[in-house]
Amino acid sequence: MAEFIELKESRTDPAYGCPPHERDIETHISHGVVNLDKPSGPTSHQVDAWVRDMLHAEKVGHGGTLDPKVTGVLPLGINRATRVMQLLLEAPKEYVCLMRVHREVDEDRIREVLGEFQGKIFQIPPLKSAVKRELRVRTIYDVNILEIDGQDVLFRIACEAGTYVRKYCHDVGEALGTGAHMAELRRTRVGPFTEEGLVTLHDLKDAYQFWVEDGDERFLRECTLPMEFAVSHLPRAVILDSAVDAVCHGADLARGGIAGLDDNIKKGDTVAVMTLKGELVAVGEALMPSLDIVAADSGLVIETDKVFMKPGTYPRMWRQSL
């Protein structure tokens, strides 16, 4: 668990910006993310379109595509939050999988083989995939067998982004000498999004209607989260009000503009650049680790990559922030 290092005592001007949970409902929606429980059947893009029409949004995008028959966690970004979804593509994933072996095999052997299929594994993406079919290395962080019933093996798998669980089951079956296939799959985690607080399409539709018809926004606020939640798995750098607008215009972040940061930043990490109010300004690449940033007197420490806050949200005070 990261610890936050305060570099200087700082105050934020309430006249500019807004804490994410205090945004008015229209802004909350347009900067919102939904932890959607995808049903079996539709494609992820179909779900995007349904939610876009349901909320009368300009655009909706998802973080990490699920096959039509796969259910579970499908994070959705609304309007300005759609670009934040890109940051979830490389986030670790977790699934519960039902694998069926093609003939009965001793339980101890199944446990032994699944134990061997952890850590670094080699995979060739299946024929029906959106990426080039070439040998790739993926990390399996953990495999936990939940139940074995005859030829059915239920297990939870935590893995690196880009791991094909269907191919994983096939390869396990090859190692068992029996053959195996993925019978069912449910995603239970994408980065900070878990099954806790999942929202169904019906929940979201009802919440929107409560707001439109009755003026009751409570349920819609419960169904949508500020887009800042989608970067809560990234290390943070909190910046002074005087540095915000410069970063909004694409400037790299200098040491003098930082009010505090997490202690677990490594060189090359993607870092969420936040305001003192907790708003997401941008993400960037750390040019040095946390301790070196703390020790530095000046100079650039984070190279800005993607900007999410509109320029002009905070006043222009570039000279003070550089």
Per CATH, domain 234-307 is 3.40.640.10: no
**CB neighbours (10 Å) of residue 11?**
9
DSSP string, 151-165: TEEEEEEEE-TT--H
Catalytically active residues are: 67
- Residue 322 scores a pLDDT above 70: no
pLDDT bin (cut points 50, 70, 90) of residue 234 is very high
State the greatest distance between any 2 C-alpha atoms of the chain, in Å, as a whole number: 71
Fold topology of 92-190: Alpha-Beta Plaits (3.30.70)
Please write the tens of the pLDDT for every residue from 249-294: 999 999 999 999 999 999 999 999 999 999 999 999 999 999 999 9
Give the CA distances from residue 310 to residues 54, 174, 240, 277, in Å, rounded to whole numbers and listed in that order.
26, 52, 16, 15
Domain extents in the chain: 25-89+193-228, 92-190, 234-307
Please write the tens of the pLDDT for every residue from 179-212: 999 999 999 999 999 999 999 999 999 999 999 9
The domains spanning 92-190 and 234-307 adopt the same CATH topology? no
- Residue 131 scores a pLDDT above 80: no
**CB neighbours (10 Å) of residue 220?**
21
**CB neighbours (10 Å) of residue 138?**
16
Please write the tens of the pLDDT for every residue from 55-100: 999 999 999 999 999 999 999 999 999 999 999 999 999 999 999 9
pLDDT bin (cut points 50, 70, 90) of residue 321 is very low
Question: How high is the pLDDT of residue 133?
Answer: 76
Tokens representing 203 are: 């929940």
Spell 231-263 as b/e; 16+ CB within 10 A means b: bebbbbbbbbbbbbbbbbeebbbbbbbbbbbbe
- Which residues, in sequence order, are CB contacts of 21 under 8 Å at separation 6+? 226
**pTM of the predicted model, to two decimals?**
0.92
pLDDT bin (cut points 50, 70, 90) of residue 126 is confident
Per CATH, domain 25-89+193-228 is 2.30.110.10: no
Q: Indicate the Cα dihedral angle 85, 90, 92, 98, nearest 10°.
A: 90
- Residue 52 scores a pLDDT above 70: yes
Query: Which alpha helices (DSSP H) does the chain contain, by range?
Result: 25-30, 44-55, 107-116, 165-176, 201-214, 218-223, 241-248, 290-295, 318-321
